[in-house]
Structure 1
């Protein structure tokens, strides 16, 4: 266990300059605790994570599997981003009661809205199980056999580790397969919508301002966790009661100033901080341009319809936002990697690593790893491009293609598992389609299909194209499919899937939409996917070896944190402005004045509700202003990524000061290369959230649930008291 001991040693080594990182909360003692305290934190590591007493982790659940949230009252009131709750807000919206446009506020518990299928998950305990998971793997004859042994060992750990009957065990992988942690969790299943501002506040600036600074967005929504009478997880029931948390976050009214300590606690999704230079180069030159290009044509077509038709705008709001989010992120990521010379920096780091390998006489073990990477990525390139283009076209951007692909998978289920599995899967699909077709427009999807398939055919490596797709006129193909396929509305799909397996499969294969998807999928599955998977496994094995070398041979003060993988992490920093380019400096805080400066009446992205305008003109900010101004957003040096949306921003004393929701465009490359000069996360000021709830929505009963504090004022009062005692 030399490697794990080294991890612990590195975590214990003192550092003096904050350089980013996403840290496992159970391993904060030592270097991280010292560094956080040097940055101004007044808490201990045990205040952040503890099994034996309540701690910050007990107030920070995973929100619906994709975002983060935080408990902010003793009655289970839950705060997260507006964009994290967007799907639920949309699902309750109609043209008559458009909660996206008008907002929603439950004025009592009875008005709170249930959300079937929605969950939040709390971490109970984190345990290192590396030895158990890697047991016996040194004797594996191949990487495939080794991985199979690891999977069996992980399952064994999950099954044999103690837990209560309402809890779940999970094992997650860290440091590219060099470390494994067991997470004991509790998942609550009765989550109700409590409040959301209108999109003109919660999504202010929409896609134009997305990933940008200065920002002026009130990106928040409120939910409530319900539990059974024993305060344990339960399915929705009218008998359930508001959850009583082990810990909830007090909300600070004191705001932020430059250099204030900030701690962001949450569930970052995926990062690749230790990719070799050749992988980053391929991402910038090949993969990102393909993903950006295909989403660009899809978004352009959707936008045309959304601007003309209010019903379509409601139907496609969540889908458009989801597609646009990473479209813009990938653009900024590529530009940032180029601007910061990330490839050359990684090459220099690799050169230093090779020098240390040679100095330690470990060339036999690690000496060929960089050349092996070069070969592997060269062979992987076309297959990786095919994988990404197929995923974008047939899973993410065209609904007919996605639905057709799910039906193709249904046919595969019949062939591999039999009719009972087919029947079960069919029932689940129909239930999903009942919901998804509610927000479907065939005329929108038809235009998106035509442009996406054209891009797909033009950019897919030719060896993966079917003959028909190469030769067929794309406009004619589109008309044939959308004019004849049953996949264009739910009633037709329901008829298509009526009957036993044999009848359904026969009808499916006679449908032109399904036949098209099946032909493309078969080509992908036969010619691209097998090699993609084998090359991916080869690269993953090299990455594990590379990670081992980095950790083993890096200097003692190296910053070696594990990549994000959707597990609970701590990232800490300070409130800081930044300079994105020559002669430009951005202040770290924005105000309501900036919201008004961007305001354009009737605009899709920059319109404002009249009541907010009135509050601004009257300067009616209640107790939430700062010297007569209403703070809105602020930025800091916290190292965040997707999944940190909705993460609490916590001050030096453990109080909520903001809500994380984005990053600056220049720093979106931080998933691959974190640069402290320009990497900044964007947060909603807690006072703006309180102002909107109280003064705009009139939901003062929610404010009364919370614990509002003045930590800075308390600190100043203590100083005055000490000075007074000295004078006496």
Structure 2
């Protein structure tokens, strides 16, 4: 394709080393490789990605579909974040064996705990299939027809592209639909919990410190990949053996210094770096404020219960963290976008864009893009806001409504696919909800419901008429006293019997009646219009991306994150968050002790860690008599990079990515190298906790420790 040839040509231009961007590892040769080496990297592009010999990519794992992990031993030992393993740690916890509070350490492989349905995926190879995917697309006129043809072509290629029987083919879109890459993957299904520090280490600072610097969190947990006797993926079996990887990461004990090269390798979830100014304004002024208000209300209710009841704390710990994570992120994102004047920067770029359109005679092709964006974002505003209210209130933050919505989907299956499909789905739903109700507290959810349903009725556009005059307190009391959605036993009763009986029973249930009104309204009055306008915006975004690549040949364009394997590189570097304030690059155990509040939900410190601090029993992990805890760098990361390895110039493990700084959370939309920093656990803190705190020398013995800086000096 002419577009891709242009982009490859652009990559070869010699330019000064820069930072920012999430780059596909199979396409590093040229500009990226040169930049990385200018920043201090000692490796080649082939050391990072190679399909003929082992390379760094063979140690990078897509962990359970949402995080990243890395292989750190020849026996398939996996390192990821504590918050990525949190659900598994919680599922193995009870009042008697509270691994969240006390931690867990397997001193032998026999003690490692299996995790049903957890998966770990490795990338075998990456292939450009753009031309084949886009065959027959250009002559089509409507956006819907184009997307249908692209999907048909993609399905055909995924089925026919060569792979081994245990492997999978997955096609992903890049540059807003201007490029398509096929990933050959291997997914392992026997993943066992090996070790986790107590939450007072792995979650130290909890929600108060989330998204902020300085940070003192030992955010790590350890798992192991098991395979069959042929080293291939297999379902859990006691006969499985530890996986032997093609590559595992050596661990550097030399630490980091300001200016050191860093590379984060992982699976970033989603960014939107090329949105027009109209979209960014809508995020700042309309969508984020609504979502923040909804989650703020839910969190206040849950927090009140969790602080008073240990059982509720265990039930809601993971859910609370999940809700709080993006609540706080959206707050920081909006503030950062305003502070960095992102909307005006977008408008300035759009002015230059329009000038180049005219200068290069592209008015017929690209001249109306910006005005079409403006028109469509105005048209979608109320539908986008109503959609967010429905998702946040019904689907994500009110548990009774979430259950009701799953049953609503069950009813739709009955209507569209018949009784057999209904019965199959019903059986799976009932089984899956057993674990759901294990962590459900009706009193907590009742208060959340009352707060959120009031917000929905008072502030969401396009609501059912009766919601405008609803008595929210009375409705709450009626539903939570009469609905069978409030307990697993009652739900089983509600769903027992043949399909027609179940549907009749559902329609009589007060909780389901409310959900049905909300869902019917969503699918009749909100979703169709939103989807239609969003489809048009998607087509505009594809053309806008193509235009930027054509009109700015000297530009720096990386594909937006889409949960595929990427590398991002930068340097260890402090920053100025505000006037007269400077943040250094590293934190130490002294900072943990400074924040220590005995018995506090967020800032308690285990007695053994206090003892190690007082006796300075640090082993080989200290630097200048101090234990390093976390550090920051300029790597461009996002959700999904949680658990990603931070690597040094030689590809050795120096840290574990887990967060971003508050001032730079807007980097999903606008990356600013002055204030955007990713936060990593120093690997020496991880080793110190495993070795000195947990006494898990069996794990230390598996790893390969190196001293690259000392070797260089010699």
TM range (shorter): over 0.9
Contact 2:647 2:655 in 1 (8 A): yes
Q: 2:515 aligns with which of 514, 517, 521?
A: 517
Residues 213-252 of structure 1 aligned to structure 2 (within 5 Å): 213-252=213-252
Contact 2:295 2:324 in 1 (8 A): yes
In the alignment, the residues of structure 2 paired with residue 119 and residue 523 of structure 1 have an alpha-carbon distance, to the nearest angstrom, of 36
Contact 1:11 1:27 in 2 (8 A): no
1:368 Cα deviation (Å)?
A: 1.0
Instruction: State the match for 1:689 in structure 2.
Output: 686
Instruction: State the match for 2:536 in structure 1.
Output: 538
Contact 2:598 2:605 in 1 (8 A): yes
Instruction: State the match for 2:654 in structure 1.
Output: 657
Residues 103-118 of structure 1 aligned to structure 2 (within 5 Å): 103-118=103-118
**Is the counterpart of residue 708 in structure 1 residue 693 in structure 2?**
no
**Between 421-430 and 175-184, the greater mean CA deviation after superposition:** 421-430
Residues 375-524 of structure 1 aligned to structure 2 (within 5 Å): 375-461=375-461, 464-524=462-522
Residues 391-434 of structure 1 show CA distances to partners (whole Å, capped at 9, x for unaligned) of 00111100000010010010001111111111111111111101
Instruction: State the match for 1:132 in structure 2.
Output: 132
Instruction: State the match for 2:568 in structure 1.
Output: 571
Residues 102-137 of structure 1 show CA distances to partners (whole Å, capped at 9, x for unaligned) of 000001001000000000000000000000000010
Instruction: State the match for 1:53 in structure 2.
Output: 53
Instruction: State the match for 1:674 in structure 2.
Output: 671
1:308 Cα deviation (Å)?
A: 0.2
Contact 2:305 2:444 in 1 (8 A): yes
Instruction: State the match for 2:90 in structure 1.
Output: 90
Instruction: State the match for 2:549 in structure 1.
Output: 551
Contact 2:24 2:567 in 1 (8 A): yes
**Is the counterpart of residue 79 in structure 1 residue 79 in structure 2?**
yes
In the alignment, the residues of structure 1 paired with residue 553 and residue 411 of structure 2 have an alpha-carbon distance, to the nearest angstrom, of 54
Moved over 6 A (4+): none
1:622 Cα deviation (Å)?
A: 0.4
Residues 70-120 of structure 1 show CA distances to partners (whole Å, capped at 9, x for unaligned) of 000000000000000000000000011100000000010010000000000
**Is the counterpart of residue 628 in structure 1 residue 625 in structure 2?**
yes
Q: Secondary structure at the match of 2:307?
A: helix
Q: Secondary structure at the match of 1:626?
A: coil
1:15 Cα deviation (Å)?
A: 2.5
In the alignment, the residues of structure 2 paired with residue 91 and residue 592 of structure 1 have an alpha-carbon distance, to the nearest angstrom, of 30
In the alignment, the residues of structure 2 paired with residue 523 and residue 696 of structure 1 have an alpha-carbon distance, to the nearest angstrom, of 55
Contact 1:268 1:642 in 2 (8 A): yes
Contact 2:573 2:632 in 1 (8 A): yes
Residues 670-706 of structure 1 show CA distances to partners (whole Å, capped at 9, x for unaligned) of 0000000000000000000000000000001100000
Residues 272-328 of structure 1 show CA distances to partners (whole Å, capped at 9, x for unaligned) of 000000100010000000110100000000000000000000000000000000000
Root-mean-square deviation over aligned CA pairs: 0.6
In the alignment, the residues of structure 1 paired with residue 141 and residue 281 of structure 2 have an alpha-carbon distance, to the nearest angstrom, of 33
TM-score, length-normalised on structure 1? Answer: 0.98
Contact 1:10 1:560 in 2 (8 A): no
In the alignment, the residues of structure 1 paired with residue 111 and residue 153 of structure 2 have an alpha-carbon distance, to the nearest angstrom, of 47
In the alignment, the residues of structure 2 paired with residue 292 and residue 452 of structure 1 have an alpha-carbon distance, to the nearest angstrom, of 12
Q: How many residue pairs align between the two structures?
A: 714
Instruction: State the match for 1:260 in structure 2.
Output: 260
Contact 2:19 2:635 in 1 (8 A): no
Q: Secondary structure at the match of 1:137?
A: coil
Contact 2:19 2:569 in 1 (8 A): no
In the alignment, the residues of structure 2 paired with residue 217 and residue 18 of structure 1 have an alpha-carbon distance, to the nearest angstrom, of 29
In the alignment, the residues of structure 2 paired with residue 8 and residue 600 of structure 1 have an alpha-carbon distance, to the nearest angstrom, of 55
In the alignment, the residues of structure 1 paired with residue 10 and residue 669 of structure 2 have an alpha-carbon distance, to the nearest angstrom, of 21
Q: Secondary structure at the match of 2:127?
A: strand
1:11 Cα deviation (Å)?
A: 2.2
In the alignment, the residues of structure 1 paired with residue 348 and residue 471 of structure 2 have an alpha-carbon distance, to the nearest angstrom, of 48
In the alignment, the residues of structure 1 paired with residue 22 and residue 464 of structure 2 have an alpha-carbon distance, to the nearest angstrom, of 44
Instruction: State the match for 1:335 in structure 2.
Output: 335
In the alignment, the residues of structure 1 paired with residue 303 and residue 620 of structure 2 have an alpha-carbon distance, to the nearest angstrom, of 40
In the alignment, the residues of structure 2 paired with residue 424 and residue 6 of structure 1 have an alpha-carbon distance, to the nearest angstrom, of 51
In the alignment, the residues of structure 2 paired with residue 709 and residue 617 of structure 1 have an alpha-carbon distance, to the nearest angstrom, of 28
Contact 2:76 2:225 in 1 (8 A): yes
User: What are structure 1's unaligned runs of at least 5 residues?
Assistant: 718-728
In the alignment, the residues of structure 1 paired with residue 13 and residue 70 of structure 2 have an alpha-carbon distance, to the nearest angstrom, of 31
Contact 2:17 2:36 in 1 (8 A): no
Q: Secondary structure at the match of 2:576?
A: coil
Q: Secondary structure at the match of 2:673?
A: coil
Contact 2:10 2:553 in 1 (8 A): no
1:10 Cα deviation (Å)?
A: 2.3
Q: Secondary structure at the match of 1:705?
A: coil
1:468 Cα deviation (Å)?
A: 2.1
TM-score, length-normalised on structure 2? Answer: 1.00
1:18 Cα deviation (Å)?
A: 1.6
Residues 556-635 of structure 1 aligned to structure 2 (within 5 Å): 556=554, 558-635=555-632
In the alignment, the residues of structure 2 paired with residue 224 and residue 482 of structure 1 have an alpha-carbon distance, to the nearest angstrom, of 43
1:13 Cα deviation (Å)?
A: 2.1
Contact 2:62 2:69 in 1 (8 A): yes
In the alignment, the residues of structure 1 paired with residue 3 and residue 456 of structure 2 have an alpha-carbon distance, to the nearest angstrom, of 44
Q: Secondary structure at the match of 2:621?
A: coil
In the alignment, the residues of structure 1 paired with residue 332 and residue 25 of structure 2 have an alpha-carbon distance, to the nearest angstrom, of 29
Instruction: State the match for 2:303 in structure 1.
Output: 303
Residues 368-379 of structure 1 aligned to structure 2 (within 5 Å): 368-379=368-379
Contact 2:209 2:215 in 1 (8 A): yes
1:143 Cα deviation (Å)?
A: 1.0
Q: Secondary structure at the match of 1:271?
A: coil
Residues 24-39 of structure 1 aligned to structure 2 (within 5 Å): 24-39=24-39
1:239 Cα deviation (Å)?
A: 0.3
User: What are structure 2's unaligned runs of at least 5 residues?
Assistant: none
Q: Secondary structure at the match of 2:223?
A: strand
1:17 Cα deviation (Å)?
A: 3.3
